[in-house]
Structure 1
Amino acid sequence: MTIRSRWRAGLTVGAAAVLLAGGLAVASSAQAAAGCRVTYAVPSQWNSGFTANIAVTNLGDAIDGWTLTWSFPGSQSVTQAWNATVTQSGAAVTARNASYNAALGTGASVSFGFNGSWSGSNPSPATFSLNGTTCTGSTNPTSPAPTGTGGPSPTPTATPRPGGDAMAAVAAMQPGWNLGNSFDAVGADETAWGNPRVTEALLDNVRAQGFNSIRIPVTWSNHHGPAPAYTIDPAWLARVQEVVGWALDDGFYVMINIHHDSWQWINTMPADRAGVTARYNALWTQLAAAFRDAPAKLTFESVNEPQFTGSSGDAQNAELLNELNTSFHRIVRASGGGNATRLLVLPTLHTSAEQARIDELTATFAALNDPNLIATVHFYGYWPFSVNVAGGTRFDATTQQDLIDQFDRVHRAFVAKGIPVIIGEYGLLGFDRHTGTIQQGEKLKFFEFLGYYAKLRNITTMLWDNGQHLGRTSFVWSDPELWAQIRSSWTVRSGTASSDQIYVPRTGAITAKSLTLNLNGTTFQGLTGADYTLNGNTLTLSAETVTRLVGNRAYGINATLQARFSTGVPWRIDVITYDPPLLANATGTTAAFAVPTQFRGDQLATMEAKYADGSFAGPHNWTAFKEFDVTFAPDYAGNRIVLKPEFFAEVTDGARVTLTFHFWSGTTVTYHVTRSGTSVTGTVA
């Protein structure tokens, strides 16, 4: 069976509705000819959300500036819009032109779209008004049309072609998911990095989670022949085609690329420009031919995280990446068929959102002058927070501003000018070790804000998942709380708090405990599991309530509460009994050393390391705070804190290092370690 037998023509839709209406009023004169045609389409709908596209064709005299209004007949809300500024008050919706599409000549059309949420049902609006006049479907040369005379026309049989409007198509891709560490694995096949073979059931389950697009990274290095043909292994190509076909059958927008080739051989382009270019062009020539007749929902990404080794600097890097991107564009467009208008994704250098990198890609877009191009960057957060180093334990103002700045830069450079942007990968770099590198509540706040701000800036996001999030065979999320927060952020905001933990000492008097609520535009609805008082945004549990919650004050979590808000997911609050952790003396080696630790209900946040003179010890010697999971890691089950070989590799032989362990209760405990050759001695301070 060939792959074409699996591809379906057009869009696969969960629900579709198309409404034709007419009527257009002009702002300048009541005597001017007025009339228009409005098409309202719902090409995609899922459990609680939908995508709508609206096209307006001017049948009357030219206008400069337009406002379209309508009312939703059901419980529907606009959550993200493109090509127009859309606001909503109750059921009433107003869409105003963007700066670049205000003028509508006679016979001209404008299109815009939005993502929305719904409950109960999702009926189409019955009438539209443009510039204050109700649409009628006919031209009126003398006066505005009377209110309420419009109505739905028969539904056309065809749905809009994906890719016909790049902004609309990319918005419809939201949200997206990465099939990571499978076809991009460097090795013999898709199982080389520990994941099982991809199945139709996996893709079905990903689609059922609400994802509308899937990025399938592919590394081709080990799957093609030598120069000059660089013939792709037919079996490997057929397997990629098979999985792409399954994804298209599921209704996904699909993105494929050239992935880890970027650091395996493309990075040598400064020294071997002709050889790298020939190999790269040969691969894309074959891929363009293989997927030439695929549906328009398949998109191509030129290269993942492009990088160059040994270049002369930024100028040459920009020149080389521009050559790759333009060669890719030329090859795909010249192959014809669906590739003549297929959506193509071009990255910045390193897929970075730095302004200089954005400016370089902007120049390439301007030179290509192709409306079916998409810009892409990756986002893994503010680095100290993303890996938990340099004291970056919290989603604080600095971490939030870093996200805002990066999203704002790509919005200004591309989205505001009608060029769509996909964050092709997002997450936290600490996830490469495990998701506990970043404390749970701080992690949830990061993903809540990321989803909100991406929606605000009309940016489509694709979650990086190398198998650590959704089980490839169990189809179960490893962190359901994180998944609930991510999914909720696609449509609404959630309230959070200054912490998801309340620590209560094991001994001594119990006092009242307070947290600061972050409403994030929601309203507080109450606290499940305890009495409370609320003063402004300060939530307080009385000493009496805390006493009841901790019970016999056993170490660890004694009670779990939920703060509920008007939208989004509840905020979990653990009430924890603790005592300051107790550390003990120890001996070991630089290859295997651990501090015996009675955690006594507390959890480790970070670790400082300093020499006697106050200078910083260990890796990253520009900061006292070492990298979590790389230089140290708590082992709660084993009652120890492990100091890793990577830490001692950069500790001065014979020097005593003072470690300060910071715990989430606010407790700090100091400890001394001394390295003597490969031997290590640890003592309680």
Structure 2
Amino acid sequence: MAGTTGTSMRARWRLGLITGTLTVLMVSLGMTFAVSAQAAAGCRVAYTANQWPGGFTANVAVTNLGDPVNGWRLTWTFPSGQQVTSAWNATVTAAGANVTATSLSYNASLATNGSTSFGFNGSWSGSNTAPTTFALNGVTCTGNVGPTTPPPTTPPVTPPPTTPPPAGDAMSYVAAMQPGWNLGNTFDAVGDDETAWGNPRVTEAQLDNIRAQGFKSIRIPVTWSNHHGAGPDYTIDPVWLNRIKEVVGWALDDGFYVMINLHHDSWQWINAMPTDRTTVLNRYNALWTQIAAAFQDASPKLHFESVNEPQFANSSGDAQNAQLLHELNVNFHRIVRASGGNNATRMLVLPTLHTSSEQPRIDELTATFNQLNDRNLIATVHFYGYWPFSVNVAGGTRFDATTQKDLTDAFDRVHNAFVAKGIPVVIGEYGLLGFDRHTGTIQQGEKLKFFEFLGHYARSKRLTTQLWDNGQHFDRTTFQWRDPELWGQIRSSWTTRSGTASSDQVYVPRTGSISARSLTLNLNGTTFTGLRQGNTELVRGTDYTVSGDQLTLTAGALTRLVGNRAYGVRATLSARFSAGVPWRIDVISYDPPTVSNATGATSAFTVPTQFRGDQLATMEARYADGSNAGPHNWTSYKEFDVAFSPDYAANTIELTPEFFAEVNDGARVTLTFHFWSGATVTYHVTRSGDTVTGTTASAARVG
């Protein structure tokens, strides 16, 4: 995954920080977009910033003064070397002091006199001088509305061979790679050693154990930035290269198909290509020349990926981005093919821009494939799911129809563009973005449904998948899965479907009468065969009933299962189906949670909480006027583990410094905690400088 990108959703920006100065710049810009060369273009930008010692937040409002546009890219240079640390409403990348903000799908279109805005947090030292010059799609401020100019062209590249390499069966090759696994956060770590990001040194035993899990291919991401000398030769450190060769050799000996690449180089230096094309291209070509030579006689099961998640800073827009990526891919192809040995026919993997599955990015890569006319090429994209679900923000707590459609649309696009035409596709990374913190960011049952469906739909579209694992899934010391239930669902999805249900939890009140509870079964082409508690088969008609897709646990069965009704999971049931893995159902005794008054600091504030058997799903934050408070203020629902985080052992809910950094000083914020039982609890917090006061607002309401 790329390391310097901050992406979020649409927000109405609100100042919410403490001391500092406010700077407002009104800048008239000339702009070019991916439209005709004579389109009228121009814009106005308002840059506002509010700072505190060592940090600041900024908002950038863009008004389009020219013809309607679809897609924008704003670039600037920080005069004092400031750094962007997080962003919202745009994809923001940086190369040193040079910053690029790119539109997202929902704010890409701007009508004449239409406006949009994005914001970011940053860090500074010494001074925090505001940028004074901006450019849109590579055109510097002119102060006038005028015709655009085409993006700068690059010199022609060496044409591909007129005769394709000998025919290989690329589709069969990639099918044989399924399923795949990523050796993440290891050789791709930005540092001097493969252990720099916390994973142990790779051993033969690690690879043997991964192979034993059923994986047939392994992607070994490699970042080369810190492991070669200066230009013009850019000589790779022989110790590093030999270590890569050693691990690749172990993997090949294990029978893996193996992929190596240029990984975080993409955002560390390749992204400077729009403004330093010659240096970047020379360095890129030198690295691939050496890598190709080192592996020219390796097994054909080894394949090369040109670059991970390619991206460019300070370009003139999508057209130039596509042109630059095409140039990299064509140079990569030419160098490898010309290096001889098995490289003459070795499978080569080419990514879309950002490894995105959006249609324009797919169309750009299709043009490259058409030009190269090589039967031994593989297309690749990455998939981390529908963003609100993937990180648990904006109320995206469930694997619902919207989240499922996001997946099917993405897989349909790459299938139709490539697989249906005989070009294989590898989903080179897949997972959920919330996993970068820990795998509990997304609720367990919803997570399992996502992976069950992903495996099924990838099979139906003949896509090979490679699980992203930065060490959070397979323990590389004990050789055990950290979440065996998740692993079981993933493994099952490679070959069959599994039945699931609307939830993996049934909540039963600790006090009062107990009534029957129902779940909706998602049969997924299977048939329901029974319900067990451990090795004991529950009795249909007595303990439960099934009517259509409704599974109902009777009041009598629930009364027996909860026993003394102490808080928490009182029984675990297993719904079984004709295929796939069983669906776990926890029967939970609970009372609505309660919260208590508290005082603390913006750096460390917790809400005393008696969870009483319940679990937190999400949190809303609003000001007294009903407007949204805190980060991502385009939604009232805050991001799990970023704005707030439950600690069940400590009986607290933490409100993070990141949350209070975007809360207005002196304003009261009403928080609504939503729990998986359906209960909601309201709480008030007021920030006064660095101090926070929390007060109870109401008793819990059961939804």
Scaled by the length of structure 2, the TM-score of the pair is 0.74
Secondary structure at 2:375 match in 1: coil
The superposition leaves residues 587-622 of structure 1 with CA deviations (integer Å, 9 ceiling, x where unpaired) of 111111000001000000000000011100001010
Secondary structure at 1:436 match in 2: coil
Secondary structure at 2:413 match in 1: helix
Check conservation: 1:163, 1:343, Cα contact below 8 A.
no
Counterpart selection for 2:363 from 359, 362, 365: 359
Say whether residues 1:528 and 2:528 are aligned partners.
no
Say whether residues 1:241 and 2:245 are aligned partners.
yes
Counterpart selection for 1:325 from 315, 326, 329: 329
Check conservation: 1:447, 1:489, Cα contact below 8 A.
yes
Counterpart selection for 1:580 from 578, 592, 598: 592
The gaps in structure 1 that reach 5 residues or longer are 1-160
Aligned to 1:199: 203
Check conservation: 2:603, 2:657, Cα contact below 8 A.
yes
Distance in 2 between residues matched to 1:230 and 1:631, nearest whole Å:
43
In the alignment, residue 349 of structure 2 is paired with which amino acid?
A: V
Check conservation: 2:166, 2:345, Cα contact below 8 A.
no
Check conservation: 1:321, 1:349, Cα contact below 8 A.
yes
Counterpart selection for 1:502 from 503, 506, 525: 506
Counterpart selection for 1:275 from 260, 272, 279: 279
The superposition leaves residues 92-145 of structure 1 with CA deviations (integer Å, 9 ceiling, x where unpaired) of xxxxxxxxxxxxxxxxxxxxxxxxxxxxxxxxxxxxxxxxxxxxxxxxxxxxxx
Aligned to 1:314: 318
Distance in 2 between residues matched to 1:569 and 1:222, nearest whole Å:
45
Counterpart selection for 1:626 from 638, 653, 677: 638
Counterpart selection for 1:654 from 652, 666, 676: 666
Describe how 1:240-259 pairs up with structure 2 within 5 A: 240-259=244-263
Say whether residues 1:214 and 2:226 are aligned partners.
no
Check conservation: 1:162, 1:169, Cα contact below 8 A.
no
Describe how 1:136-535 pairs up with structure 2 within 5 A: 164-529=168-533, 530=538, 531-535=543-547
The superposition leaves residues 300-321 of structure 1 with CA deviations (integer Å, 9 ceiling, x where unpaired) of 0000000011111101110110
Distance in 1 between residues matched to 2:392 and 2:247, nearest whole Å:
36
Distance in 2 between residues matched to 1:317 and 1:648, nearest whole Å:
37
Aligned to 1:680: 692
Give the drift of 1:368: 0.4
Check conservation: 1:163, 1:342, Cα contact below 8 A.
no
Give the drift of 1:164: 2.4
Give the drift of 1:473: 1.0
Say whether residues 1:545 and 2:557 are aligned partners.
yes
Distance in 1 between residues matched to 2:649 and 2:272, nearest whole Å:
46
Aligned to 1:601: 613
Scaled by the length of structure 1, the TM-score of the pair is 0.76
The superposition leaves residues 341-383 of structure 1 with CA deviations (integer Å, 9 ceiling, x where unpaired) of 0000000000000000000000000000100000000000000
Secondary structure at 1:318 match in 2: helix
Check conservation: 1:597, 1:639, Cα contact below 8 A.
yes
Distance in 1 between residues matched to 2:166 and 2:687, nearest whole Å:
63
Aligned to 2:126: none
Distance in 2 between residues matched to 1:164 and 1:569, nearest whole Å:
37
The superposition leaves residues 251-302 of structure 1 with CA deviations (integer Å, 9 ceiling, x where unpaired) of 0000000000001000111110110000000000000000000010000000
Check conservation: 1:611, 1:655, Cα contact below 8 A.
yes
Say whether residues 1:614 and 2:626 are aligned partners.
yes
Distance in 1 between residues matched to 2:532 and 2:267, nearest whole Å:
51
In the alignment, residue 597 of structure 2 is paired with which amino acid?
A: N
Check conservation: 1:532, 1:542, Cα contact below 8 A.
yes
Check conservation: 2:167, 2:375, Cα contact below 8 A.
no
Give the drift of 1:162: 13
In the alignment, residue 619 of structure 2 is paired with which amino acid?
A: M
Aligned to 1:53: none
Check conservation: 1:162, 1:297, Cα contact below 8 A.
no
Give the drift of 1:391: 0.2
The superposition leaves residues 150-194 of structure 1 with CA deviations (integer Å, 9 ceiling, x where unpaired) of xxxxxxxxxxx9992000000000000000000000001100000
Give the 3 Å change call, closer, same or farther, for CA 540–607 of structure 1 in structure 2: same
Say whether residues 1:645 and 2:649 are aligned partners.
no
Check conservation: 1:606, 1:661, Cα contact below 8 A.
yes
Distance in 1 between residues matched to 2:688 and 2:185, nearest whole Å:
40
The superposition leaves residues 178-215 of structure 1 with CA deviations (integer Å, 9 ceiling, x where unpaired) of 00000000001100000010000000000000000000
In the alignment, residue 622 of structure 1 is paired with which amino acid?
A: W
Aligned to 2:55: none
In the alignment, residue 650 of structure 2 is paired with which amino acid?
A: G
Distance in 2 between residues matched to 1:573 and 1:635, nearest whole Å:
23
In the alignment, residue 631 of structure 2 is paired with which amino acid?
A: P
Distance in 2 between residues matched to 1:376 and 1:599, nearest whole Å:
44
Secondary structure at 2:569 match in 1: strand
- Aligned pair count reads 525
Check conservation: 1:162, 1:296, Cα contact below 8 A.
no
Check conservation: 1:587, 1:681, Cα contact below 8 A.
yes
Say whether residues 1:570 and 2:582 are aligned partners.
yes
The superposition leaves residues 559-600 of structure 1 with CA deviations (integer Å, 9 ceiling, x where unpaired) of 000000011000000000011111001111111100000100
Greater RCO (CA < 8 Å, at least 6 residues apart): 2
Distance in 2 between residues matched to 1:302 and 1:618, nearest whole Å:
40
Aligned to 1:89: none
Give the drift of 1:336: 1.2
| Identity across matched positions, percent | 81
In the alignment, residue 565 of structure 1 is paired with which amino acid?
A: F
Distance in 2 between residues matched to 1:613 and 1:466, nearest whole Å:
43
Distance in 2 between residues matched to 1:163 and 1:429, nearest whole Å:
38
Secondary structure at 1:435 match in 2: coil
Distance in 1 between residues matched to 2:334 and 2:598, nearest whole Å:
64
Secondary structure at 1:437 match in 2: coil
Distance in 1 between residues matched to 2:476 and 2:297, nearest whole Å:
30
Give the drift of 1:384: 0.2
Distance in 1 between residues matched to 2:417 and 2:345, nearest whole Å:
23
Check conservation: 1:163, 1:296, Cα contact below 8 A.
no
Check conservation: 2:337, 2:345, Cα contact below 8 A.
yes
Aligned to 2:568: 556
Give the 3 Å change call, closer, same or farther, for CA 162–499 of structure 1 in structure 2: farther
Give the drift of 1:532: 1.1
Deviation >3 Å, runs of 4+: none
Distance in 2 between residues matched to 1:276 and 1:480, nearest whole Å:
44
Distance in 2 between residues matched to 1:198 and 1:344, nearest whole Å:
25
Distance in 2 between residues matched to 1:611 and 1:258, nearest whole Å:
47
In the alignment, residue 371 of structure 2 is paired with which amino acid?
A: A
In the alignment, residue 422 of structure 1 is paired with which amino acid?
A: V
The gaps in structure 2 that reach 5 residues or longer are 1-164, 698-703
Larger radius of gyration: 1
Check conservation: 1:163, 1:169, Cα contact below 8 A.
no
